[in-house]
């Protein structure tokens, strides 16, 4: 598998977490969002929206390009079920998916690069906009996770919810968010960061990192 991604992109970080958790080898292909490589024709053929991550998979010679981190989670879960990132019961699976979607569709799109660039062009203070949605989204996540959290965001094993949490807190700090306001989320982040597979997926450990 090849992962077209960018070290600081939160959706890319989510997929790296899933791949490293499952112990799946992959080739890291950097796509710089700073120099605009996501808009190059070659990349647009893989992701017409011009987004990372894109996972290239080769199923017996049939090459496919999967975009959207949660759709990639689904593929990895079905294709490599041995180390699951979802619990067993249908209700628990729904709850984990809901936590992941709170981040995926309820927070990240509001601070995506193209969203912020467009807001800026309209004269909106894009940093205030981003901070608002990050803070309100994390507040909702803290509340929604509380009844079912354990050592991790859902129960006592690492799930898709954690794959979304870590990059979102990383992004929140980038945008100056006050993550200390969310003690449950930061407690779980500390636990996650102790895991060796998480260390390998972190933005600062990637070959294109500029830290
Ligand atoms: N919902 C998508 C989001 C993909 C996405 O928004 N990627 C961002 C980086 S995190 C991107 O490529 N942005 C480039 C741009 O906006 O120009 C996912 O989960 O993969």
List the chain domain ranges.
2-82, 90-197
pLDDT at 177 over 90: no
CA of 104 to the centre of ligand 1 (A): 10
What H or E segment, with its residue span, contains residue 58? strand 54-59
Give the number of other Cβ atoms within 10 Å of residue 67's Cβ.
17
| 2-82 and 90-197 agree in CATH topology | no
The strand order across the sheet containing 54-59 reads 27-30, 2-5, 54-59, 62-67
Dmax (CA) for the chain in angstroms is 50
Ligand 1 atom nearest to 12, measured from its CA:
10
- Nearest protein CA to atom 1 of ligand 1, as residue: 68
pLDDT band of residue 176 (cuts 50, 70, 90) is confident
pLDDT value for 19: 98
Contact assessment for residue 68 and residue 59, using Cβ atoms and an 8 Å cutoff: no
Ligand 1 atom nearest to 112, measured from its CA:
16
How much is the average pLDDT of 61-67? 97
* Class in CATH terms, 90-197: mainly alpha
How much is the average pLDDT of 53-78? 97
Which of 149, 164, 153 shows the shortest CA–CA distance to 105?
164
pLDDT at 124 over 90: yes
CA of 27 to the centre of ligand 1 (A): 19
For residue 94, give every residue at least 6 positions away whose Cβ sits within 8 Å of its Cβ, in sequence order, or none: none
CATH superfamily of 2-82: Glutaredoxin (3.40.30.10)
Which of 12, 13, 16, 14 shows the shortest CA–CA distance to 26?
16
Whether the bond into 156 is cis, omega within 30 of 0:
no
Give the mutation target among 29, 30, 39, 52 for probing the ligand 1 site: most ligand atoms within 8 A of CB: 52
Distance CA 114, CA 99 (A): 24
4: which DSSP letter? E
Instruction: Express each pLDDT in 180-197 by its tens digit.
Output: 999 999 999 999 999 999
């Amino acid at each position: 598998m090849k992962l077209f991604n960018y070290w600081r992109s939160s959706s890319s970080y989510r997929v790296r977490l899933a791949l490293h958790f499952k112990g799946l080898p992959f080739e890291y292909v950097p796509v710089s969002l700073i120099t605009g490589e996501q808009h190059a024709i070659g990349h647009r053929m893989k992701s017409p929206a011009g987004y990372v991550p894109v996972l290239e998979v080769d199923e017996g010679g049939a090459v496919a390009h999967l975009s959207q981190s949660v759709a990639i989670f689904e593929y990895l879960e079905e294709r490599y079920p041995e180390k699951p990132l979802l619990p067993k019961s249908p209700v628990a699976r729904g709850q984990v998916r809901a936590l992941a979607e709170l981040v995926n569709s309820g927070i990240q799109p509001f601070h995506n690069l193209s969203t912020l660039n467009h807001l800026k062009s309209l004269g909106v203070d894009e940093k205030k906009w981003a901070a608002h949605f990050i803070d309100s989204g994390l507040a909702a996540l803290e509340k929604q996770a509380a009844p079912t959290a354990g050592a991790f965001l859902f129960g006592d094993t690492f799930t898709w919810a954690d794959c979304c949490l870590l990059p979102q807190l990383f992004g929140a700090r980038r945008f100056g968010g006050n993550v200390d306001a969310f003690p449950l989320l930061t407690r779980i982040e500390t636990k996650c960061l102790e895991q060796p597979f998480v260390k390998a997926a972190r933005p600062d450990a990637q070959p294109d990192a500029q830290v």
